[in-house]
Amino acid sequence: MSETLKTVNQNIMPLNTKRNAKGNLEISGCDTVDLVEKYGTPLYVMDEVTLRAIAREYKDAFKNYKKVNMMFASKALMTGQIAKILHSEGFGFDVVSGGEIYTVNKAGVNMEMTTFNGNNKTTDELLLALELGVGRVSVDNFLELSLLNEVAKSFDKVQKVLLRITPGIECHTHEYIQTGQTDSKFGFDMTQIDEAVELILKEFTNLEIMGLHAHIGSQIFETQVYYDEIGVLMKELKRINDKFDLNLNEMNVGGGLGITYTEADCPPSVYTIAETILKSIEDHAEMYGMEEPVLYIEPGRSMVGTAGVTLYTVGSSKQVPGGRKYIAVDGGMADNPRPSMYGAKYEAVIANGKEEENLKKVTVAGRFCESGDILIKDIELNSPVAGDILCVFNTGAYGYSMSSNYNRVLKPEMILVNNSQSDIIVKRETYEQLVQNDCLL
């Protein structure tokens, strides 16, 4: 199956992306030039067809495993409408802040289908989580065990928890997005698990441990790391159950599946990952003589990355004598910090049609006051000039969610396109909103 079925995360462009009769780039029947005329730039564009397609691919890939919970990793992109769409596709949510908890709740999400994760949750966030009925809290450290127990006691309830552990598995991705190696800020070290379990059983009686949680990284192209991670988790579940006479049966393996940002990227399909995960569960259940556990999986980037593009307007340009040709756009590191943070690479095209194709190698610079504000180095574009529309692909994940007001620039609008229709799902920020929390003395 995995050899023949391609999934959305392996595409560079959203589904139904093409050049129309005018030569303009079109997504789900919406002409990108018309979108810019209507909404302005920079503009985040999310394609609902692509978003729902990847959600259904995940559900289909795991359909034969009846004990699976699909949880969208909200940090990749969280707005009320995105939450509403994914919840309608049967997804729960991995949330990592009070803001994400509040957003999914306002979107009408069944809060039992949420897991609260993070390495330094505040007391206020834990209070909000329990008040709104978050299903699981993935506990990250000893301080949190104590805090959460006190919060649960104040609500006179027993909160179900998972222990997040560091499984000692390193994947070949950027060091900033590795999370499963032993030297990590996240989770209990393997040597601390028994102490944490004992505290829950003997002292923190307003907590109920359900299982284990691990996450090994992001933008992963390997499959063996998932097989190995599950082996570690299931071995620990078996050991804990035997030692403490428990019946823990929940296992959250995180997410991390990569996407195709450029032609050089070759991520596995959702079906390939599913086969690997389910084969590992089957093998290790047989190896350890245990029941197959309830599985939680938390895709984020692979859910929303390909569905999103960002549209910019080209402005000034500069030819360095004997060097690069720079073109500047009206956005940059404040609406997409990934290239500046860790050298992320993207593909892009001039969205407006031109009579002739005349490719020029240029470097796309942002408008912000940093030399490092470069979106794309050395890309061939069709004769870019001031006023052209640049479409950067695969920006659905970690663009909007990591955006800022650097240089006091307004955050862009986000729209949803589907069936030749476009709708605003995040309004463009205004100057009045920008200063509304300023206090003048």
% of the chain residues with pLDDT over 70: 96
On whether the CB atoms of residues 67 and 281 are closer than 8 A, the answer is: no
Could you tell me which residue, 181 or 107, shows the higher pLDDT?
Answer: 107
Residue 390 in any domain: the answer is no
Residue 106 in any domain: the answer is yes
CA distance 262 to 303: 17
pLDDT at 182: 53
Please check the confidence at residue 3 and state whether its pLDDT lies above 90: no
Mean pLDDT computed over 327-349: 97
Residue 388 in any domain: the answer is no
Residue 33 in any domain: the answer is no
pLDDT at 170: 66
Q: Provide the domain count of the chain.
A: 1
115-131 pLDDT, tens per residue? Answer: 999 999 999 999 999 99
**What's the CATH code of the domain at 134?**
3.20.20.10
Active-site positions?
369
Residue 9 in any domain: the answer is no
Residue 387 backbone zone (phi > 0: left; psi -120 to 50: alpha; other: beta): left
How many CB atoms within 10 Å of residue 420?
10
Q: What is the mean pLDDT of the chain?
A: 94
Mean pLDDT computed over 303-311: 98
Would the CA dihedral through 25, 27, 28, 30 be positive or negative?
negative
3-state secondary structure the chain: CCCCCCCHHHCCCCCCEEECCCCCEEECCEEHHHHHHHHCCCEEEEEHHHHHHHHHHHHHHCCCCCCEEEEEEHHHCCCHHHHHHHHHCCCEEEECCHHHHHHHHHCCCCHHHEEECCCCCCHHHHHHHHHHCCCEEEECCHHHHHHHHHHHHHCCCCEEEEEEECCCCCCCCCHHHECCCCCCCCCECHHHHHHHHHHHHHCCCCEEEEEEECCCECCECCCHHHHHHHHHHHHHHHHHHHHHCCCCCEEECCCCECCCCCCCCCCCCHHHHHHHHHHHHHHHHHHHCCCCCEEEECCCHHHHCCCEEEEEEEEEEEECCCCCEEEEECCCCCCCCHHHHHCCCCCEEECCCCCCCCEEEEEEECCCCCCCCEEEEEEEEECCCCCCEEEEECCCCCCHHHCCCHHHCCCCEEEEEECCEEEEEECCCCHHHHHCCCCCC
pLDDT at 186: 74
Mean pLDDT computed over 166-173: 69
Residue 297 in any domain: the answer is yes
Please check the confidence at residue 55 and state whether its pLDDT lies above 50: yes
CA distance 113 to 87: 9
Q: Which two tokens stand for residue 163?
A: 């222990």
pLDDT at 168: 79
Residue 69 in any domain: the answer is yes
Please check the confidence at residue 350 and state whether its pLDDT lies above 90: yes
Residue 180: pLDDT band (50, 70, 90) is very low
Burial class (CB in 10 A: 0-12, 13-18, 19+), 395: buried
291-319 burial: b if 16+ Cβ within 10 Å, else e: ebbbbbbbbbbbbbbbbbbbbbbbeeeee
Structural domain of 56:
47-304
pLDDT at 181: 45
Please check the confidence at residue 176 and state whether its pLDDT lies above 70: no
Mean pLDDT computed over 9-23: 97
Mean pLDDT computed over 100-128: 97
Residue 183: pLDDT band (50, 70, 90) is low
Alpha carbon 268 to its chain centroid, in Å, reads 17
CA distance 71 to 93: 4
190-207 burial: b if 16+ Cβ within 10 Å, else e: eeebeebbebbeeebebb
Residue 153 in any domain: the answer is yes
